[in-house]
Structure 1
Amino acid sequence: MSDLDEKEIMSFRDENGNKVDFEAVARIFLEEQEYLILSPLEEGADEEDAFVFRVDEVEGKEEYNLVEDDNEFEAVKKEYKKLLY
C-alpha cells in the first residue's frame, strides 16, 4: 500500500501535552521497515511541514518514532517522490 485512499487522521501529544492532529500522507516501506509520512492538519501547514515517523514494533504494539536521522529521512523522502512520479 502506498498512498492512502481515505484520510487517516492520527493524534499525538506535543511536548506541552497539547493534542496535535496529523493526516497520514503515505505509508512507505524501506528494507522491511515501515514509515509513515504525516502532515499536520493545522491551518497554513503544507506538505513541506510533513514529518517522517518510523513504525517500530515494541512488545507487540506499534510505536511511532520521529525520524531525526538526516540520511534515513532523505531515503524515505526519495522513496515517496518515486511513488508520486
Structure 2
Amino acid sequence: MEEREIMSFKDEEGNKVDFEAIARIYLDKKEYLLLSPVDEAKKEDANIFAFRVDKNKDGKEELNIVEDDKEFEAIKKEYKKLLY
C-alpha cells in the first residue's frame, strides 16, 4: 500500500485542514509541492493547490502558494507530463 503524505494547516477561521501531497515538481531550479484537501484527494475533480518551497532566513522550508498565473500554468504543464 502506498504511504500518503498528509500535512495540516489552519484556515482563516483557525480550523485544521488536512492536505495530501499529490506531487513534487522541480522546475527552473525551484521546488513545488502540489496539495489537495484530504476529503477531495481521491475525487476526479479535486482542487489542487500549488505551493513553492522556499527557504526562510533561518534556512527552514516554508510553503508559499503560487499566485502568478504564468508560474501556475508552467507547474500544471510539468505535472501533466508526470501523469502521461
TM range (shorter): 0.7 to 0.9
Q: 1 CA distance for matches of 2:41 and 2:8?
A: 18
Q: State the match for 2:67 in structure 1.
A: 68
**Structure 2 regions of 5+ residues with no counterpart?**
none
The structure 1 residue matched to 2:31, chosen from 25, 31, 34, is 34
Q: Structure 2: which amino acid aligns with 1:10? A: M
Q: Structure 1: which amino acid aligns with 2:49? A: F
What secondary structure is seen at the aligned counterpart in 2 of 1:49?
Answer: coil
**Structure 1 regions of 5+ residues with no counterpart?**
none
CA RMSD of the aligned region, Å? 1.8
Residue identity (%): 67
Q: Which runs of 4+ in 1 moved over 3 A?
A: 43-48
**TM-score normalized with structure 1 length:** 0.86
**TM-score normalized with structure 2 length:** 0.87
Alpha carbons of structure 1 residues 43 and 36: separation in structure 2 relative to 1, 3 Å: closer
